[in-house]
Amino acid sequence: MTTTVEHPALAPVTLGDLALRNRYAVAPMTRVSASPDGTPTGEMADYYAEFARGGFGLVISEGTYTDTAASQGYLNQPGLARDEHVAGWRVVTAGVRAAGGRMIAQLMHAGAISQGNPHREHTVGPSAVQPRGEMMPAYGGSGPWPAPRELTTAEIDDIVDGFAAAARRARQAGFDGVEVHAANGYLLDQFLTDYTNQRADSYGGPVSHRIRLTARVVTAVAEAVPELLTGVRLSQTKVNDFTYRWPGGRDDAEVIFAAVAETGADYLHIASEGRNWLETAKLADGGTITALARRVTGLPVIANGGMHDPTQAHEVLTGGHADLLSLGHGALANPDLPARVAAAEPLEEFDRAMVSPTVTVANARRWRESRQA
């Protein structure tokens, strides 16, 4: 794609040691389209490569489970826990790279909000606190989540080791980096959240203790694969609690970001969980959580939430709020969004039918085929 760079999102950027052709990234989006054993499929390889062909500089995988114990969150979720998973992902990463993109594996442990795990009948969490809300039908769940079993310190150690082992498999699979999923209500975020973490040990209590597991995991991952990019995704909102905000506001954020900055992470990714960035990023004093993350850590920050809007994207980048932009719904509706922005072409609006009744790659493909018919 040859163009005169006009929009700042089209400018090349270096993330850690990774050179990217622009500042557009595909956000991690669960697709529940892997084989039953967690191996990525050829259909998934086509799905991810399409974003790279459309001009996205960076593609972040959907949340990928790290072990065959309690980490899996959904049936047909991909993993990085076995050799078969590595072989499947290797096809995916090769396709993205051949189309000029770079790819990061997002590593995830679902914890208490797992709603589909063939390896375990029970769920685990920081404390035996039943998650708010109900399971998500679009991902194959229904009814309330059960109360999890509280993790022991030995099990926590195993979880840290599982993330590190999955990172090494990501390297074998050809990924350019790994992103630790500490957002959106999953296990690491459950430790960070005050009402789901009632522990009395070194992982519970003040926010400086509740962020400790995330810091341990990111450190272990960075040490396991020093040649790869290492990032961490954080959020205030959750898939099962859209209104939650860190109770200490800016003070909590500064503690959290400072802890992450000491881990060896190369970047932060601040998620909005389907909300607009303006809604979730604004602080009481008028600043933004993403700009604060940049200042406290000195690291590049990826902002998320409504970044398909060229005006908002321009403001975020030129106003010092973030360094890169990740797109979910906007990318689904416009897998060639960077090319469209470069050519000043109109964008397609996201249609919820793309992810209904189930959030699969096949469903999105059928939606596109029906539009073209």
Torsion-angle region of 184 (φ positive above 0: left; ψ -120 to 50: alpha; else: beta): left
In contact, 193 and 252? CB cutoff 8 Å = no
CATH of 8-370, one of 1.10.1370.30, 3.20.20.70, 2.40.50.140, 3.40.50.10860: 3.20.20.70
- CB proximity list for 99: less than 8 A, separation 6 or greater: 49, 52, 53
Alpha-carbon dihedral sign for residues 15, 17, 21, 26: negative
In contact, 99 and 52? CB cutoff 8 Å = yes
Residue 373 pLDDT: 67
Residue 369 pLDDT: 83
d(CA 94, CA 106): 17
Q: How far is CA 240 from CA 14, 43, 133, 181, in A?
A: 34, 29, 5, 16
Structure tokens of 127? 């404390």
Residue 5 pLDDT: 53
Chain centroid to Cα 348, Å, comes to: 23
DSSP structure string for 218-261 = HHHHHHH-TTSEEEEEEEEEETTBTT---TTTHHHHHHHHHHHH
The pLDDT of 353-363, averaged and rounded, is 91
Residue 1 pLDDT: 41
Q: Is the pLDDT of residue 15 over 90?
A: yes
In contact, 240 and 204? CB cutoff 8 Å = no
Strand partners, 20: 13
d(CA 44, CA 50): 10
In contact, 81 and 68? CB cutoff 8 Å = yes
pLDDT-based confidence at residue 2 (cuts at 50, 70, 90)? very low
Q: Is residue 186 annotated as part of the catalytic site, yes or no?
A: yes
- Tell me which of 47, 186, 244, 267 is the catalytic residue: 186
Task: Give the start-to-end residue ranges of the domains of the chain.
Answer: 8-370
Q: Which has the higher per-residue pLDDT, 282 or 106?
A: 106
pLDDT digits (tens, 9 = 90+) for 78-129: 999 999 999 999 999 999 999 999 999 999 999 999 999 999 989 999 999 9
Answer whether the bond into residue 357 is a cis peptide, omega within 30°: yes
Q: What percent of the chain has pLDDT over 70?
A: 98
Q: How far is CA 369 from CA 56, 95, 351, in A?
A: 22, 22, 14
Q: Is the pLDDT of residue 43 over 80?
A: yes
d(CA 244, CA 335): 31
Average pLDDT, the chain: 95
